Amino acid sequence: MTPQVATIQVGLPQTLGTDHASDPMEQTWTTGFFKTPVEGERWLSLTNLAGDGQADLKNHGGLDKAVLAYSGDHYNYWRSQLDRPDLPPGAFGENFTIVGQTEATVCVGDVYQIGEARVQVSQPRQPCWKLSRRWRVADLALQVKANGRTGWYFRVLQAGLVQPGLEVLLCDRPFPQWTIARANQIMHHDRDNPAAVALANCPLLSQNWQAKLLRQR
């Protein structure tokens, strides 16, 4: 099966919650996590999809994290695990929900053609507290980190039009040894492994992940 972009989601930052609420889950926060599906063609630039944005530009967005992808193959697991049978695509804040790919089959540095655009895998997604806040599950980010169903980021090598239903065509795989699953394992569970230095020296891994791996040695 050739992987496909099942759905595309975008969303702009919005402020939610109530000032001074006693429940942390009700307090004010600003986030671009809430994404809604789009139909038809959408322009993918070097930094993001048209109509998409991030609230925390220090940790999200930019050239190395222009597009967040998440495996649609994980949704049945999460619907059961979270007891949310209606959990929709985009629930993990992703722009591309891709079926036919997982962290075990995607590698750092992979280059894919998606419609007119050409993208490259830059790093795994590192889940933050906003994922937990979105679904009011206090340990959801920790669950994602523990089980490795994180998703991954694309940098954009060639801007162009994309749309739901397009095939995700592999053009180049320079580092087949660095699957997203293996990179997650090293970062989150095995930082003392000598392979961490080798991963940090992968030239197509994002600079942010390179620095974190070397700093944590």
Q: Which domain holds residue 138?
A: 4-173
Question: Is 188 a member of any domain?
Answer: no
Phi, psi of 10 (to 5 degrees): -135, 160
Question: Is 194 a member of any domain?
Answer: no
Residue whose tokens read 């970062």: 187
Average pLDDT on 113-131 reads 96
Contacts of 65 (CB under 8 A, 6+ apart): 122, 123, 153, 155, 206
Q: Write the pLDDT tens digit of every residue in 159-216.
A: 999 999 999 999 999 999 999 999 999 999 998 889 999 999 999 999 999 999 998 6
Tally of structural domains, the chain: 1
Looking at per-residue pLDDT, the higher value among 129 and 117 belongs to: 117
Question: Is 46 a member of any domain?
Answer: yes
Question: Is 65 a member of any domain?
Answer: yes
Q: Write the pLDDT tens digit of every residue in 23-39.
A: 888 888 888 899 999 99
Least confident of 20-24, 32-36, 72-76, 128-132: 20-24
CATH code at position 145: 2.40.33.20
Question: Is 209 a member of any domain?
Answer: no
For 16-44, letters b (16+ CB in 10 Å) and e give: eeeeeeeeeeeeebebbbebeebeebbeb
Question: Is 195 a member of any domain?
Answer: no
Question: Is 72 a member of any domain?
Answer: yes
Cα dist from 131 to 90, 94, 134, 144, whole Å: 11, 11, 5, 9
Question: Is 211 a member of any domain?
Answer: no
The two beta strands, 67-71 and 96-99, are parallel
